[in-house]
Amino acid sequence: MSQRKAPAVEHSLRLFNELKGLGVQIILVSSRRECLRSATIDNLVDVGYHGWTSLILRGADDENKNIQKFKADVRKKLINSGYRIWGILRDQWSSIEGLPLAKRTFKLPNPLYYVA
């Protein structure tokens, strides 16, 4: 990731742009570490993901949490801040599972790896 070369997934980018066009506030949540923020933002913008509301990455306090707990905690914080979570789009079940749930869940195939 620090090389800023991760390609966009075409269908995901299309959905991102459609939702953005409808005025949906898009919050990106990643298990990447906070130290990769600059590289992550550069990569997102370079492949067409721009205009999102927020990017949430794992901070030092999140290092010992598993992915499911980290992302569930982020969803709870967003809801407590007044957001309604319409959907989650992920390639790993561990990123989708956990409460609170979203209204819609989209599980993408990942040809590179699978986390059981």
SS3 annotation, 4-30: CCCCCCHHHHHHHHHHHHCCCCCEEEE
Which of residues 100 and 72 earns the better pLDDT score?
72
Q: How confident is the model at residue 18 (pLDDT cuts 50, 70, 90)?
A: very high
Q: How confident is the model at residue 115 (pLDDT cuts 50, 70, 90)?
A: low
Look over the chain and give the mean of its residue pLDDT values, rounded to a whole number: 84
Q: How far apart, in whole angstroms, are the C-alpha atoms of residue 35 and residue 33? A: 5
Which of residues 10 and 3 earns the better pLDDT score?
10
| Site of tokens 């982020």 | 74
Domains of the chain: 10-107 (3.40.50.1000)
pTM of the model: 0.80
User: What is the per-residue pLDDT across 77-89, written as a single tens digit (0 to 9) for each?
Assistant: 999 999 988 887 7
Q: Could you give the residue ranges of the DSSP H alpha helices within the chain?
A: 10-21, 37-46, 67-80, 93-96
Q: CA neighbours within 13 Å on the CB side: how many for 54?
A: 8
